[in-house]
Amino acid sequence: NAGVTQTPKFQVLKTGQSMTLQCAQDMNHNSMYWYRQDPGMGLRLIYYSASEGTTDKGEVPNGYNVSRLNKREFSLRLESAAPSQTSVYFCASSGLHTGGVEQYFGPGTRLTVT
Amino acid sequence: QKEVEQDPGPLSVPEGAIVSLNCTYSNSAFQYFMWYRQYSRKGPELLMYTYSSGNKEDGRFTAQVDKSSKYISLFIRDSQPSDSATYLCAMSDDGNKLVFGAGTILRVKS
Range with the lowest mean pLDDT among A93-102, B19-28, B71-80?
A: A93-102
SS3 of A73-98: EEEEEECCCCHHHCEEEEEEEECCCC
Residue A32 has pLDDT above 80, yes or no: yes
Would you say A47 and A76 are in contact if contact means Cβ atoms under 8 Å apart?
A: yes
Does A101 touch chain B if contact means CB atoms closer than 8 Å? Answer: yes
Cβ contacts (< 8 Å) between A44 and chain B: which residues?
A: 100
**Closest CB from A44, A100, A104 relative to B96:** A100
Please state, in angstroms and rounded to a whole number, the distance separating the CA atoms of residues B17 and B11.
12
Strands B61-66 and B85-92: unpaired
> Which phi and psi angles does A35 have, rounded to 5°?
-125, 160
CB-CB under 8 Å, B103 with A99: no
Contact B97, A58 (CB under 8 A): yes
pLDDT at A41: 83
Task: Report pLDDT digits (tens) over B32-87.
Answer: 999 999 999 999 999 998 988 889 999 999 999 999 999 999 999 999 999 999 99
- CA of A9, closest CA in chain B: separation in Å? 11
pLDDT at residue B52 in the model:
86
Question: Using the beta-carbon criterion (under 8 Å), do A90 and B41 form an inter-chain contact?
Answer: no
Determine which of A36-40, A75-79, A99-103 has the lowest per-residue pLDDT on average.
A99-103
Whether A30 and chain B come into contact, CB under 8 Å, resolves to: no
In the stretch 55-74 of chain A, residues with CB closer than 8 A to chain B read 58-59
